[in-house]
Chain A
Amino acid sequence: MFSHLIRRATRWARPAHLGWAVAALLMFASSSVQAIPAYARQTGSACADCHAGSYGPQLTPYGMRFKLNGYTDTDGKSFKIPVSGQLTETHTNPATGKSTTDLTEGDLYIAGRLTDQVGGFVKVEADRTGKNTYNTRLSNVDLRFVAKELKLGGKDLTLGVSVNNSPGFQDPIAALPNASFIAPVGVTGSFLSLATPNAPSNRVIGATMYALYDKNWYGEVGTYRSLPTSTQDHLGYNIASDPGTLHDTGYFRFAYMKDMKKQFFSAGVVALTTHRSLPRSGPSDDLTDLGYDLTYQYLGNREHILQLSYVNILEQRHYGAQLFGPGGVAAPDRGDVHDQTLTATYTFHQTYSLSVSRLLSTGTRDDVRYPPFGDPNATTNMVTLFWAPFGKDDSYTTIANLKLAATWFRITRFNGRENNVFGAPPGVRPTNAGDLNAFSLSASLAF
């Protein structure tokens, strides 16, 4: 998980390691969940029906409905094997450190319908960790039971249950961090973000119940608990990034979404509250995430697609432990963390995409928890160009796909500073925010 790498980078403050951390970030950004060919085979649809760019990940309204229907929609023909794979080769060129070109990731997806009411998504991921060594882990899981075509007050109603391992991954609008795989990078972050140190992503298990009423109103409520550290270890995760024990965890989501065929917009709120003990034997911190998200899509005749999304999540913390810094300075017992993400994506002919994101991670000043300056603020910009030639109705193939991507990753502020972000003493080469920048080229093949 890249948050772990960032923390290591923070500790080491050495350019080579920083480059490696950002490389991992880039790999994660480029190979996150995409269009799954198994779904295309199951539905007869093209990848581009559910995704604006035919390789994904951004969902069209039709893709959102497919997810809400529990991945069960079908072309009515015989059972299809619900298995897909993805291979990703990445060339990474960090601002500091050595460039690398490797087969960075291999994925196995078990994705599709079991019955008309039961379907799911399971990703098993092998990430390169060194020369010819890979770490295999259970990535995202979303298993669903859904009751479709119900009526309430004469209006359509869909009810469903999702068993998943990342709060927000199951969201149909897919703007929340665990669904969009876009989140601010920094020394801290909200519990709903996958970039936060000790994030719950893929290390918890939870169940949520959701309803879609009258095609527009979406509501969801659920709870999560963290997996035992032994289970995390068995599933391929380093227990150093354990999210801790969680108690009384609640997840709440409410959104209005409007599909006008040529346009779509949504406005939603999200909340997560939990009592977390980290380390597990330690006192409990009270965490409350409150967020909202706004999205807009211009789809037209699918020749020119514009997608905008803004996510704003505020986390309020009440720390259970009393910490003291150098000189006996006491850390505050409360603090806020604030994540903001603004993303604009233009897609031409569902083949060429340009995506620009601005990511802000800010928080209350805390000299003890955020050394060396007590300022956790970080600003990141990410620009990605995609080319995905297949996966459309008129493509050579609609059930396999290729993506070439170029990604520029720019950090303009880290630990609240642009220069000497880790506070190197005189005589030691300082690390500037720009030293964390990187560029990557990746080729992904899905089948």
Chain B
Amino acid sequence: MLSPSPPAWRSEAPRSRWPHAVVLGGLMFGWLMASPLVRAGDASAGADVFKSECAECHTVKEGRNKKGPSLFGIVGRQSGSIADYNYSDALKQAQWTWTQDKLHWYLSQPAKTANPGTKMKYDGLTDAKQLDDLLSYLSSVH
């Protein structure tokens, strides 16, 4: 049976949703602005960046090291933590956690500037979009 008039909650709903939406949006915006943990990169484009910038020395295959260690699951990993890779003393002592933020900082400058004494030979990636794309790709590899 059709109701001749909408129930009371329907008419009240818009009034009650607005504050929720504003609050939720505000929280999301604030979180995104406050935290660099999530970057708006394109993982697909990042795969290409990986191939041209990283793939000669690293793979994303689990357990396979090249000149550099495997980058499988790199985001969130403790630095110098792959057991069968021979890290430099400099990286062993760094005691970093490879958050996206840390990786962004590390990869945006020459590796030997970020971590003097490292074995890694990399001049840094200065293109911000490529770096965001790369970090999105690395985040997807786990």
Contact = CB atoms under 8 A, between A and B. Distances in A.
Nearest to A73: B67
B59 interface: yes
Contact of A299 (B52, B65, B84): B52
Grouping DSSP codes into helix (H, G, I), strand (E, B) and loop, the A interface class, with mixed when no group exceeds half, is: loop
B56 A45 contact: yes
Interface string A40-72: 000111000100000000001010000000000
Contact of B55 (A44, A74, A75, A393): A393
A44 B67 contact: yes
Which residue, of B64, B65, B66, has the highest number of chain A Cβ atoms within 10 A? B66
B86 A76 contact: yes
A73 B56 CA distance: 12
A77 B86 contact: yes
A76 B55 contact: no
Given A45-B56, A62-B56, A76 B65 contact: yes
Contacts of A301: 47-48, 51-52
A262 interface: yes
Nearest to B87: A76
26 contacts: A43-B66, A44-B64, A44-B65, A44-B67, A45-B57, A45-B66, A49-B56, A49-B66, A62-B56, A75-B65, A76-B65, A76-B67, A76-B85, A76-B86, A77-B84, A77-B86, A261-B53, A299-B52, A300-B48, A300-B52, A301-B47, A301-B48, A301-B51, A302-B51, A302-B52, A393-B59
Given A73-B67, A75-B65, A75-B67, A49 B86 contact: no
Interface in A25-47: 43-45
Contacts of A49: 55-56, 66
A75 B59 CA distance: 12
Nearest to A263: B52
B77 interface: no
B102 interface: no
A126 B19 CA distance: 83
Interface residues of B, dominant DSSP: loop
B65 to A, nearest CB: 5
Interface of B: 47-48, 51-53, 55-57, 59, 61, 64-67, 84-86
A43 B52 contact: no
Interface of A: 43-45, 49, 60, 62, 73-77, 261-262, 299-302, 393
Nearest to B84: A77
A3 to B, nearest CB: 37
Nearest to B123: A215
Contacts of B65: 44, 75-77
A39 to B, nearest CB: 12
A45 B52 contact: no
A77 B63 CA distance: 13
A76 B80 CA distance: 14
Contacts of B59: 393
Nearest to A44: B66
Contacts of A299: 52
Given A299-B52, A301-B51, A301-B52, A45 B67 contact: yes
Nearest to B119: A76
Contacts of B52: 261-262, 299-302
Contacts of B55: 49, 302, 393
Most buried by A among B47, B55, B64, B86: B55
B54 to A, nearest CB: 10
A397 to B, nearest CB: 12
A77 B68 CA distance: 11
Contacts of B47: 301
A148 B55 CA distance: 22
A299 B57 CA distance: 16
Contacts of B85: 76
Given A73-B67, A301-B51, 12 more contacts: A43-B67, A74-B67, A77-B65, A77-B84, A77-B86, A261-B52, A262-B52, A299-B52, A300-B48, A300-B52, A301-B52, A393-B61
Contacts of B61: 393
A49 B86 CA distance: 21
Nearest to A301: B48
A299 B59 CA distance: 18
Nearest to B48: A301
Nearest to B61: A393
A300 B66 CA distance: 21
A60 B55 CA distance: 13
Nearest to A156: B121
A302 B49 CA distance: 11
- A-B pairs, top 10 by smallest CB distance, nearest first, are A76-B86, A301-B48, A44-B66, A62-B56, A301-B51, A49-B56, A261-B52, A45-B66, A262-B52, A302-B51
